[in-house]
Amino acid sequence: MAFHTLEFDHLARFNSATSSDLLDKYENYVDNMLVEESKEPSSRTFAPSAFRCDRRSWFRLRGVYPDEVKVPDRVLDFSAKIGTACHEMIQNNLKNMLGDDWVDVSEYISSYNENRSFEQSEVSCVTEGFETKVEIKDPPVRFACDGILRFNDKLYLLEIKSSEYASWNDLTDPKPQHIDQVKCYCTLLHLSDVIFIYIDRQYGGLKCFEVSFSSREKEDILERFHHVQRMVEYNLAPDPLPKGDSWCNPSMCPYYKKCGEYGR
């Protein structure tokens, strides 16, 4: 039997006491920063990105503090920041390509306010770079809009998603959880059509999908908003996601432990 010498050089993360000390200090700094961020309670608003779980929305509206995070996920945080960079690259290119057909979200909402399409709501917008942060008073919702574009004389909500190559490569349609999210956006912004752009974070590959929602689907979204609000008023926990749902796990939900106290 032949024995081979193991090569450990490629496993080394530092080559001196100084480099080791700097790496430790940096990683500890990032970990502490992420732990502190995780302690902050969410605003008492709906988050469309988490809308597919009524119970998670219920925790948010009640101002419940998230579960304690002991070991922060540096990889997840890094992926999120890479995703932000991917968003900005696509938004910048689309804005330059489309010119006047890149629609200013704040101006779009202002025009609807003037026409009283938001007659029961108070809406505010803040533009940060290419993204517009939207806050609606009733129902209480906060979200960030990637953009609105006009293409072939039709208005579309733009939704950009980044993912790892394996997940991106398997896509043939938008992911179901993303459908729930943009359905909220369309309902609140009085739009019916969406352009999804999925980008592979590793190689930069793109996939594009068009989706449309009916008036009935948007009415159902409004009813879900009102249902969760009623459950908050009555202090009754709504049903969680079905057992086995991939979203129902500690890495995906900041209320996973607290949710278990109410039964899953």
The range of the structural domain enclosing residue 212 comes to 20-232+254-264
We report the CATH number of the domain holding residue 73 as 3.90.320
- Give residue 85's pLDDT: 92
Q: Is residue 243 part of a domain?
A: no
The answer to whether 38 touches 72, Cβ cutoff 8 Å, is yes
- Give residue 117's pLDDT: 53
Sheet holding 154-163, edge to edge: 102-103, 147-151, 154-163, 193-200, 206-212
Q: Is residue 248 part of a domain?
A: no
**Would you give per-residue pLDDT tens digits along the chain (264 residues)?**
455 554 555 568 878 899 889 999 999 999 888 888 777 777 899 999 999 999 999 999 999 988 887 777 888 788 888 888 999 999 999 999 999 999 999 999 888 765 555 555 688 889 888 989 999 998 999 999 999 999 999 999 999 999 999 999 999 999 988 999 999 999 999 999 999 999 999 999 999 999 999 999 999 999 999 999 999 999 999 999 998 888 888 888 999 999 998 877
Residue 87 host element (H or E): helix 74-98
3-state secondary structure of 225: helix
Q: Is residue 239 part of a domain?
A: no
- Give residue 118's pLDDT: 54
Is the peptide bond preceding residue 139 cis, with omega within 30 degrees of 0?
A: yes
* Torsion sign across C-alpha atoms 95, 96, 97, 98: positive
Whole-model pTM: value is 0.85
Listed residue (164, 168, 149, 133) closest to 91, CA to CA: 149
Q: Is residue 206 part of a domain?
A: yes
Q: Is residue 249 part of a domain?
A: no
Q: Is residue 240 part of a domain?
A: no
The count of structural domains within the chain is 1
Q: Is residue 125 part of a domain?
A: yes
Q: At what angle do helices 176-189 and 105-114 cross, to 10 degrees?
A: 50
Residue 51 host element (H or E): none
- Give residue 223's pLDDT: 96
The answer to whether 224 touches 180, Cβ cutoff 8 Å, is no
Listed residue (67, 65, 62) closest to 231, CA to CA: 62
Q: Is residue 247 part of a domain?
A: no
Q: 261-264: long-range contacts (C-beta < 8 A, 24 or more apart)?
A: 262/55, 262/237, 264/240
- Give residue 250's pLDDT: 86
Q: Which residues fall within 8 angstroms of residue 145, CB to CB, at 6 or more apart?
A: 105, 131, 132, 133, 134, 157, 185, 189
Listed residue (79, 80, 82, 67) closest to 35, CA to CA: 67
